[in-house]
Amino acid sequence: MIPIDTTQRTAPDARLPGALSSENPSTRLQAALAAGTYPDARLVGVLVARCAIEPDFFVRDMLTWALTRLPPESTVPALLVELGSEVAQARSQALHTLSKIGDGAAWPAITRSLLHDADDEVARSAWRAAVVLVPDGERQRLAVDLAAQLGRGDRTVRLSLSRALVALGDEAGPALRTGLASADPEVREHARATERLLLDPDAEFDPAVDEAKRIVALGPDRAGELDADR
């Protein structure tokens, strides 16, 4: 493994790029740790490029941490370029890192195409980044964009979308009502479960989904009876 250089450096450790591409994930992790421990803006390109192809979750997380240790004016422009990559992981990891940096200047780059990306991991990362970066005047529009995807994907995807909507607070309410009126039972169930989480953020997702399924099965005429019993 690459040892962390504890001496004062005037240039990036020349071994880091090679260590970041090592076949050994422990070596890559140690290299990413070193890059964050001794941040150097000259490594931005190397770190961002590695994010796009790194197969190990823990190494990717350490790469993101290393990038957050650098000035946003160095990292954000490089990450914004990645949002247009044809590589899904490059887009996803750039979005994840932007959400951790939290620089609102990146908000205009969180486009509708990213929020609706065909790749679930990219879309989930876009949702998380969006609710962190969205300015107050755009929250309601974001809620509408997110609610348009109710019923999408598996449990993990739906939970991510619900959490993003819940993070928007009251602005999510009107958008959820549109979902509750959908002709698609999957959309109605997801909207109902998200509404429950909005009312009680400490509630568990799976019980909320189960309850939503029961309510949707009862139909609109009897759904109020179940609500009244709560």
Q: What region does 102 belong to: left with phi over 0, alpha with psi -120 to 50, or beta? A: left
Write the pLDDT tens digit of every residue in 108-126: 999 999 999 999 999 999 9
Q: List, for residues 187-224, the tens digit of each pLDDT value.
A: 999 999 999 898 887 777 766 566 666 666 655 544 44
Cα distance between residue 201 and residue 29, in whole Å: 35
Calculated CA dihedral for residues 69, 70, 72, 75, nearest 10 degrees: -110
Report the C-alpha gap between 205 and 34 in whole angstroms: 38
* pLDDT digits 0-9 by tens, 46-63: 999 999 999 999 999 999
- Per-residue pLDDT, 213: 60
- Average pLDDT (160-184) is 94
Which pair of tokens denotes residue 126? Answer: 């876009």
What is the model's pLDDT at position 227? 47
pLDDT on residue 216: 62
Residue 15 has pLDDT above 90, yes or no: no
Q: Which residues contact 148 (CB under 8 A, 6 or more apart)?
A: 116
pLDDT at 186: 93
pLDDT at residue 200, rounded to an integer: 85
